[in-house]
Structure 1
Amino acid sequence: MTSAVPNALTLARIVAVPAVIVLLLLDDGADGAARWWAVGLFMAASATDYLDGYLARKWGVVSAFGKLADPIADKALVLGTLLTLVIVDGLPWWPLLIIGAREIWVTVGRLLVASGTVIAASPGGKAKTFAQLLALWLYLLPGMPGWVDTTAWWVLMAATALALVTGIDYTVKILRAARAQRGSGRAAA
């Protein structure tokens, strides 16, 4: 097998992001057909988050493209959808700010030390992503009873807390990797 299938799934997730955003903006909180299309597309895109990595590992075709594009696709799907829900449904902006700041910092930090260290996704980071996707899926569902929105809120709060905790964990790992790289650079000189 080649990495073409997992990479195509990652690309499909990236392409789905603007489509989900446009559908939500077109619906503008009316809970109509565009919202249902956004839900279906979001769910399909979320499923590719698991499937692309699973296939790449199973087939032994993990690629440099996949390692870079997969987390970018995840972040784009979560942040793009959450931003649109803040605009369209009036969700509070501060979970978006916390999650967005964490995602940007961890991505930049990983790239800063990428030449000498691979900082793998942690179980906490995977739990954060799952909680984010679940919260967004619950918020996207149109016409649900109030308890669904309440559940979505608490899942989003858990995802925000996980973003903070894992952000600190990744910061420690990034700083250790940077120190180790500086130390090995001095030793080589």
Structure 2
Amino acid sequence: MGKLILSGELFKHIAASLQRALLGFSLGLAVSIPLGLLIGWFRGFERFIDPLLQTFRQTSAMALFPVFILLFGIGEISKLAIIFWSVQWPILLSTISGVKNVDPLLIKAARSMGASPLTLFHKVVLPASLPSIFTGIRLSATYSILILIAAEMMGAKSGLGYLIFDSEIRFEIGEMYAAIVTMSLVGLAINYTLVALEKRFTAWKA
């Protein structure tokens, strides 16, 4: 690990992996949170779309990787697509659950004070759903790193997954373990960053 740090190679691979993971993760957030809020708020829409969601979420991301390669090639887009597919389901399901499990007394109290549907959603439902949403976000962040490592082992020229696979091929076992440890440390850093953000946005819980 010291050799990789001094040469700067380790930081190059970390930057490549983080860039892919953050892009795929951000796309998943941008789609899953609004969709989850919509599905959780409108029960009729949930009954209509739930069978399709349950079917899609049972499909393994790694099983779809050959399909993404067929559609998008072996470059960056296929890797972003597989990360996006993996991360969206925990966020989506946690968001739906968070909206559906808001305390009914809070909603009744807000309505009794004349809150409009938009105010009710913005001031009551969304804040009360945040703890559940953040649980999904933390799970998805973990999935984004795990799936990325697997994706980088196939058809990548940079990233921690590539470094692990390339080190194994070259029998550089020390480099391989350095990459594995680095991957774990990156995952820990992301997790604790999200925990800090959750505490900040849900300070009202205390």
Q: Same fold (TM over 0.5)?
A: no
Q: Rg bigger for which structure?
A: 2
**TM-score, scaled relative to structure 2:** 0.35
Using structure 1 for the length normalisation, give the TM-score: 0.38
Higher relative contact order (CA 8 A, sep 6+): 2
